[in-house]
Amino acid sequence: MQQIKRLLNKFRLTVFLFWTFAASFNCYYVLFFESGKHITPSTIGIMMSLYTIATMVGQSFWGYLCDKFDSIKKAFVLAAVLSCIIIGTFPFNDSIVTLYIAMAALGFLMPPMSPMVDSWLLKHLSKVGQETKFGTVRAFGSLGWSLTACATAYMISWFGWNIMYFEGVVAALLMLVTVSFIDDVSLRSVVNPQAEQAKITPWKAARELLRDRAYLFIVVVLFFQFFGLQTAYNYLGLIMKNAGGDVINLGWTFFIDAGSELPSMFLSVWLLKRFPQKRIIMVAVSLYLLRFLLILYFQTATAVMLTSVLQGFAFGLLLTSVRNYIYLVAPSHLKTMAFTVGEAIYLNLAVIIGGIFGGLVVEFYGVYSLIMVCALSVCVALSLLFVNCFVLRKG
């Protein structure tokens, strides 16, 4: 028991530092490029697209690498080291071409680290039948994101834009020290693991995953859910500005959002023992829809900030139940790739389509029309879950 507690504490520190690292860049890089580097919005849009496309490729690549060689730790450490180096170059990089390259490289490396560490944790927990404790660890990632998002807004105002990169490098280095104390883990057959590794190719693995109806269903549902969620999230700065808010309001919104994930992640330990994962996902999707409707009704900066409580609480439920569900239905030799391929489709593809479509909606119809589109997409996800759970009775 003491060994499990020590392992969980190591992972808690790891995910805290990883999401501190991620938040230091992701929360403010758009404003950094616009205000710190004086780059035009259209050029920033190209950078965002390159980052997301590279993430799609990286998700599949790193997931395949982990499952092929049956090692998450080596891949995670390599991605972390390279990400740390690239993050450290941004303050000194004034060339648009090299910034394009850096954004694409960072997209390839950093976002896939999230499903890698989640899979690593779940593999350890599954060996002792404690998968439901995932939320008690992942909550520390939300804590890292919320504290960093809020603190960085003030630190930028005090020390300038480059402080965000200093924070990122320090967090990444500390994370690398922490993961050096965590053992790698394998769930392969002990009879002939080399034979299993030889059978895995990227196309065979992806085909096997997408032929699984349970896996394919949840990926489709999550695509519609994240199309609404991430499109609104990517344009949150414009939504806040249109509602009369400023960068400090935006920082507090990030803080409230991520901080609200903490109670739901701890609550998920109890919920996952008592309710099917898809029922919990339905509750989370309903809370997202409620948030969009409240923003549309009130249309104020205060409403955008306060309703982020609903989004944060919903995300905690969504993440823990989705991670457990995918881990449950995925083949044992493709656990990590199930996470990374899924995120490439339902998260990154949704971001690419939502970014382009959302920009057109904002330009021609306004911010609140965008929120209506996001709410409609979430309604589709909720309808699919309702039919599956209550009409077809499959969960």
Contact 239, 292 (CB under 8 A): no
Our count of domains for the chain comes to 1
pLDDT at 395: 59
Question: How far does CA 60 lie from the centroid of its chain?
Answer: 15
pLDDT at 242: 85
DSSP conformation class of 110: S
Tens of pLDDT, residue by residue, the chain (395 residues): 678 888 899 999 999 999 999 998 888 787 778 777 888 766 777 787 888 889 888 988 888 888 888 889 999 999 999 999 999 998 888 888 999 999 999 999 999 999 899 989 988 888 888 888 888 898 899 899 889 988 888 888 888 888 889 999 999 999 999 999 999 887 554 444 444 444 566 677 778 888 888 999 999 999 999 999 988 887 887 788 888 888 788 888 988 998 898 899 889 889 988 899 999 999 999 999 999 999 999 989 999 999 999 999 999 999 999 989 998 888 877 877 888 888 888 888 888 888 778 877 877 888 899 999 999 999 999 999 999 888 777 65
pLDDT at 228: 92
Q: Is residue 162 part of a domain?
A: yes
Domain that holds residue 78: 2-181+203-391
The pTM of the full predicted model, rounded to 2 decimals, is 0.78
Q: Please choose, from the candidates 115, 148, 138, the residue with its C-alpha nearest in 3D space to the C-alpha of residue 316.
A: 138
User: How far, CA to CA in Å, does 240 sit from each of 29, 235, 296?
Assistant: 17, 9, 13
What length does the chain have? 395
Whole-angstrom distance, CA of residue 344 vs CA of residue 274 = 30
| CATH code of the domain containing 31 | 1.20.1250.20
Q: Is residue 304 part of a domain?
A: yes
Whole-angstrom distance, CA of residue 131 vs CA of residue 346 = 23
Whole-angstrom distance, CA of residue 91 vs CA of residue 375 = 38
Q: Please choose, from the candidates 53, 50, 71, the residue with its C-alpha nearest in 3D space to the C-alpha of residue 62.
A: 71
Helices (H), the chain: 2-26, 29-31, 41-69, 72-87, 96-109, 113-126, 134-159, 163-179, 193-199, 202-210, 213-234, 236-242, 247-259, 261-271, 277-298, 301-306, 308-329, 335-343, 350-365, 367-386
pLDDT at 105: 95
Q: Is residue 197 part of a domain?
A: no
CB atoms within 10 A of CB 155: 17
Q: Is residue 194 part of a domain?
A: no
pLDDT at 140: 93
Whole-angstrom distance, CA of residue 325 vs CA of residue 16 = 23
Q: Is residue 192 part of a domain?
A: no
User: How far, CA to CA in Å, does 178 sit from each of 14, 35, 109, 173, 181?
Assistant: 6, 34, 19, 9, 6
Q: Is residue 57 part of a domain?
A: yes
Q: Is residue 191 part of a domain?
A: no
User: How far, CA to CA in Å, does 29 sit from each of 48, 156, 174, 177, 253?
Assistant: 10, 12, 22, 26, 16
Q: Is residue 342 part of a domain?
A: yes
Whole-angstrom distance, CA of residue 31 vs CA of residue 113 = 24
